[in-house]
Amino acid sequence: MIECSGTCARMKDNCNAVHFEASNNTCSLAQLILLEELPEEEAFPVFIETQAFNSLEQKENFLLIGQGIDKVQSYPCNFTLPIGNIDFQLGGIAVLKGKIHIYNFKTNKCYHRSMVLSGPWDETPDCVTPARNSPTMTTVGENILMTGGYVESSSSSLDTIESFDGTTWTTLSTKLSRPRIAHCSVGISYTEMIVLGGMNGPWQMRLVEKYDADGNMIETLPNLITGRGYFGCGFYQGEIYAAGGNGMSSVEVYNMQSKRWRAIANLKSNVLFPNFHVYKEKLTMFGSDNSIQIYNGETWEFASESLKNNFYRGVSVKVPCH
């Protein structure tokens, strides 16, 4: 199903839908005419989120990797977890062409496995150099883009952009407008992502920029209301959410149409690196401890369920149940 969806995505001029027949493990491509077509910036996150969940039997699930030793878990159902006493420190995670890719700063190693097929996690032979703390990893079209991060060996922040095609990491000639660490990024279309905030030295930046899949900065957007580092972001119903950070619980929302930021209700507590996903059609936050917060359109509420373990300063991605 993933490979079929990927083929359709690469043939988007004459394909916008796929049908998977489980009985004989085949798929077919189609070009459907919709009565109302979503803007690309709204359609792309929906496509990415639903690639592996088109079957009614597939349940939403999340792989969460927290900072520390053996802080890996899935919620709400089982998923094949990386085995062993993994000591993870702020790297990144993203899905590309049906595979989950993890970067672990602590070991400066990359790992991958199929999103839907059973099997072990494998080390990716090619990984980024030098090791960097707190970069971002975002899927944009046919590649994963890694931006910024902090190099401990040289005590410096990076302005570099790395591109991963599923096999090889390549340092692009294009760069971020300035070095940064502990920032956030989100894909808004098949060709674009938005990079928000982060730390530049001791300063928490308000900077918001749009980059294309080749790492070119194509637009500077209105600044965040509040400078943020060590925070989280997400894309929900055509708007970008930025929340939490160092000693912060505030949340702000950017409307893509009006190009304005607005403040909404605070999270229940200060949260470093909160992770945002759409779960059961609602914006959901994982972070800080084992609690889960859900936005009801007016305020944040604690979910009735909790994670099995605390989830702190981690990364996460939506996966199917195994």
How does pLDDT run across 81-101, given as a tens digit for each residue? 765 557 788 899 999 999 999
Residue-wise pLDDT tens digits, 41-74: 554 454 444 444 443 345 899 999 988 888 889 9
Per DSSP, the three-state class of 294 is: strand
Which CATH architecture best describes the domain 60-320?
Answer: 6 Propeller (2.120)
Query: Does residue 19 register a pLDDT over 60?
Result: no
Residue-wise pLDDT tens digits, 265-314: 999 999 999 999 999 999 999 997 999 999 999 999 999 999 999 999 89
Residue type, 213: A
Mean pLDDT on 196-209:
96
Decide the pairing of beta strands 300-302 and 156-164.
unpaired
Q: What is the pTM of this model?
A: 0.82
Contact 252/262 with Cβ under 8 angstroms?
yes
Name the band, by pLDDT with cuts 50, 70 and 90, for residue 9.
low
Residue-wise pLDDT tens digits, 98-142: 999 999 998 899 999 988 776 778 899 999 999 999 999 999 999
Q: What residues contact residue 241 under an 8 Å CB cut-off, 6+ apart?
A: 233, 234, 235, 251, 252, 253, 276, 283
Mean pLDDT on 253-267:
97
How many angstroms separate the Cα of 21 from the Cα of each of 4, 14, 18, 79, 158? 11, 21, 10, 23, 46
Residue intervals of the chain classified under CATH 2.120.10.80 are 60-320
